Structure 1
């Protein structure tokens, strides 16, 4: 397999200019990152959605900075030639700039990310600007922002009326002005996402935001229906149902263990007679 050429923020911005769609996959560990890189995914996002998907929480709020560093490091080992963006988790960028930069440093130095992602609009722009000035690329995230789900009243579609549409446009422009290299638009009406994408010079990456963003992102486990039970999502397309294959395979394994048909002769190793003699003693030694 040929070695993949890694993107950077200059190349990512040029993809928008050239009209080349950007593919992003949210992945959380070494094997999913390695498979994503082998599939030539442009960007891997280490999302704090790992709280829901792989840690069993009911939201992203319990996810810690240490969780993000741990999973980011695993992804970086699996995708050495892919641009990696790692989420700043809940309440790690709403305090002092010094505190925020310490968290960013951990993600970059220990998590081996190439950029960080932050949820929010105008209220985080001074922080985005400070991080960018420190030399770290920032990916913005507006629309549905899961870390604020308790404040916004649940998982609701954004941009359904003129006032909300204007708010989203203003937030996107503010993040661009603050130095963000791109913006994730989550659960935003297609018309509003299209208008924002046309207005900005930086790429938009949609999830549940329609057909006209500059790129798309989906979670590895959603693309492959790798969950139990799996919850259908309108904005997700399933490309393979590996969850069913895994359940069937595990079920067959349990069945064969119970039946003692596994392991069979082809799965075992044999020892020389001398080894057995050393364990149990030979018949000659017993006679003596």
Structure 2
């Protein structure tokens, strides 16, 4: 009885195989990627066909400063993993930031303060592998640079060398100017971060707009001037009134990157998950959502679950691989018949 059942299976599979192309008749591109765990080769010298646009030059600090002088707005986006970095890079983003925001939007922590240096390095490595042309910038984590310049240098060089980053971003103003100076003198490019500094959320009373009074705005200006003097090649200005950011930008000789700081900074940065509509725990007022991928992803997952449960996926004709020949199939079924009890 078992043998008869196998024979029926042979006939069924053989008739099905008549409807399916064999590997030799399929285009070679179909088998360019056999497994989802093996990502396709990114565009580059070894795979020029993967990129449909003109090859752009590597973005450097000199590139950023050139665009600043020419008044060409600078773009920055966050990325925390290989595929996100790769897509942001292919979209010709100027700067890719491995922000400590990954603590909340990628790792599920309640605040950025919980992120460690080792975790930051882990994500920097992934982003670096996916980033070919964009400038690679990473946040220094809470507590990794505030104790002393020596501590900052030790952790900073770890992130730069182990994480393959090109520059670091530090939050703070006049109080970290000496540390910034020491790091830039040691050869680590530094971008400052003033206004709302999320690593100080407890001291600031939460995520609140900064510089709403003239005196507080002056403090932010002094922070910016101190960081410029210390050697920063640029400064992020977060969550301050637009007139404050505009004035500070006009008084500096280095580019400013705004986030919730109005349209008059030298460039803009957004958290990738926020602008893509993936992270829905909290969307800041200043963030424009260019997509709503979270709902699309949930819908795709639900459709997959439904099709698996209803035996729709995988389709026998479309999503499966044949044996090399009918002869091999018949031989295999004969072998399997011996194991039937």
Distance in 2 (CA, whole Å) between partners of 1:238 and 1:280 is: 58
Question: CA offset at residue 231 of structure 1?
Answer: 2.9
Question: CA offset at residue 180 of structure 1?
Answer: 0.3
Question: CA offset at residue 3 of structure 1?
Answer: 2.8
Equivalent positions of 1:40-55 (< 5 A) are 40-55=92-107
Distance in 2 (CA, whole Å) between partners of 1:168 and 1:42 is: 26
Partner residue in 1 for 2:298 = 247
1:103 to 118, 135, 155: 155
Distance in 1 (CA, whole Å) between partners of 2:217 and 2:113 is: 26
Partner residue in 2 for 1:200 = 252
Question: CA offset at residue 94 of structure 1?
Answer: 1.2
Partner residue in 2 for 1:124 = 176
Question: CA offset at residue 257 of structure 1?
Answer: 1.1
Equivalent positions of 1:210-229 (< 5 A) are 210-227=262-279, 229=280
Q: TM-score, normalised by structure 1?
A: 0.95
> Which runs of no fewer than 5 residues in structure 1 stay unpaired?
none
Question: CA offset at residue 13 of structure 1?
Answer: 1.7
Partner residue in 2 for 1:256 = 307
Question: CA offset at residue 80 of structure 1?
Answer: 1.9
| CA RMSD of superposed structures (Å) | 1.5
Partner residue in 2 for 1:58 = 110
Q: TM-score, normalised by structure 2?
A: 0.80
Cα shift readout 1:93-121 (whole Å, capped 9, x = no counterpart): 01232221111111111100000000000
Question: CA offset at residue 168 of structure 1?
Answer: 0.5
1:72 aligns with 2:124: yes
1:3 to 40, 47, 55: 55
Partner residue in 1 for 2:286 = 235
Question: CA offset at residue 282 of structure 1?
Answer: 8.7
Partner residue in 1 for 2:65 = 13
Counting matched residue pairs gives 283
Partner residue in 1 for 2:321 = 269
Q: Per the alignment, in what secondary structure is the counterpart of residue 114 of structure 2?
A: coil
Partner residue in 1 for 2:224 = 172
